Amino acid sequence: DRLTPSSAIDEFRKVLGSSKTIIILSGAGLSAPSGIVTYRGSGDKSLWSNPNVVKYSKHTTFQEDPSGSWQFYHHRRLQALNAKPNKGHLALAALNVPSVASRVIPSASLVPLHVTQNLDELTMRALKSLPESASEGEKRLVPVHGSLFRARCLSCKHEMQSYEPYLAASLKKLGPDVVVDIPVDRLPRCGGDEWSGSNRYGRCGGLLRPDVVWFGEVPPRMGEIAREITGCDLLIVVGTSSIVQPAAGFASQVQGHGGKVAVFNLERSNSDDKADFLFLGSCDATLPEVLD
């Protein structure tokens, strides 16, 4: 019933302070100030300008070219490992610190559910940098498109996590534009030592795939998210183009039952004219300013 979204901080703070159920939805823009390129940004700064991203975001590509896919994700992992959480990640994570929560979100019955579409684990690292009293936040973080640092076995479904620069030996210091021919039996395998191919842990030895969500695949924990959306008073949307489903549908679902939506983005994004609040600017500046 409003024509344009409000950018009044005090009005937003009242809604924030009276909300019982708060959901945060984040996208690539949250990590942009950490130096991680977005998918759909302009020009050279867009991952989508790299044909590999289009190719390896399809769920059928891994079967056709597992070696190329693992090499592509090797470089994505290095980029994320070399980045650090920024002030935007930290401002959101701080809502899990009891002294901050009692001041900023006093009506919240639980710490916010943070649904992130990012694969870089920077929000997880921001949460881990907080005092022990904020540990609830980790359970309430849903990496809805998976993680660059997780893999799962195509044979036995075993899931694993690793921060080792696997494939480093095969790739040496080759740049992201060079694709070499790594035989499938040298790709990360189930039970492998640092995913290197030697079956040190006696698991099944099957081929691992990156535990990320490609187009055409169903994201995890959707039931949990749907339940939370049903009672959501306030959805805080940060740095996403709001084009990719299912996350792109959250705002209208929340507003459909009377909840409010606040958008934080560098520029105008899909359907943000329907938002209740809109804070334009880089989220490493706007989030600390609006949430502190």
Cis peptide before 246 (omega within 30 of 0): yes
Instruction: Quote the least distance from Cβ 12 to ligand BJW, whole Å.
Output: 16
* Residue 275 near which of Zn ion, ligand BJW, none (CB within 5-8 Å, type-dependent): none
Position 204 contacts Zn ion (CB under 5 A): yes
How many Å from the N-terminal Cα to the C-terminal Cα in the chain?
A: 28
Residue closest to ligand BJW when measured from CB atoms:
29
Alpha carbon distance 101, 78 (integer Å): 34
CA-wise closest residue to 253 among 228, 229, 227, 277: 229
209 backbone dihedrals φ, ψ, rounded to 5°: -120, 155
Tell me if residue 101 falls in helix, strand or coil: helix
User: What is the per-residue binding string for Zn ion in 52-91, x denoting contact by CB under 5 A?
Assistant: ----------------------------------------
* Residue 156 near which of ligand BJW, Zn ion, none (CB within 5-8 Å, type-dependent): Zn ion
Using CB under 5 A, count the residues that bind Zn ion: 7
Alpha carbon distance 259, 136 (integer Å): 24
Close Cβ partners of 182 (under 8 Å, ≥ 6 residues apart): 67, 70, 71, 167, 170
Please tell me which residue in 59, 89, 145, 257 is annotated as part of the active site: 145
Q: Around 131, how many Cα atoms within 13 Å sit in the side-chain half-sphere? A: 6
Tell me if residue 34 falls in helix, strand or coil: helix
Position 199 contacts Zn ion (CB under 5 A): no
Cβ proximity to ligand BJW: between 85 and 191 the closer is: 85
Alpha carbon distance 114, 22 (integer Å): 9
Cβ proximity to ligand BJW: between 209 and 260 the closer is: 209
Residue 153, beta-bridge partner list: 208
Expressed in percent and rounded to 5, the helix, strand and coil fractions of the chain are 40, 20, 40
User: Any catalytic annotation for residue 145?
Assistant: yes
**Known binding-site residue numbers for Zn(2+):** 153, 156, 190, 204
Alpha carbon distance 264, 33 (integer Å): 14
Cβ proximity to ligand BJW: between 21 and 117 the closer is: 117
Instruction: Quote the least distance from Cβ 188 to Zn ion, whole Å.
Output: 11
Per CB under 5 A, contacts with Zn ion among 149-168 are 153, 155-156, 158
**Known binding-site residue numbers:** 153, 156, 190, 204
* Residue 197 near which of Zn ion, ligand BJW, none (CB within 5-8 Å, type-dependent): none
Instruction: Please report, as ranges, the residues that interact with ligand BJW according to CB under 6 A.
Output: 27-29, 32-33, 38-41, 56-57, 117, 119, 145, 212-219, 222, 239-241, 243-246, 265-267, 269, 282-283
Catalytic residues: 145
Binding site for Zn ion (CB under 5 A): 153, 155-156, 158, 190, 204, 206
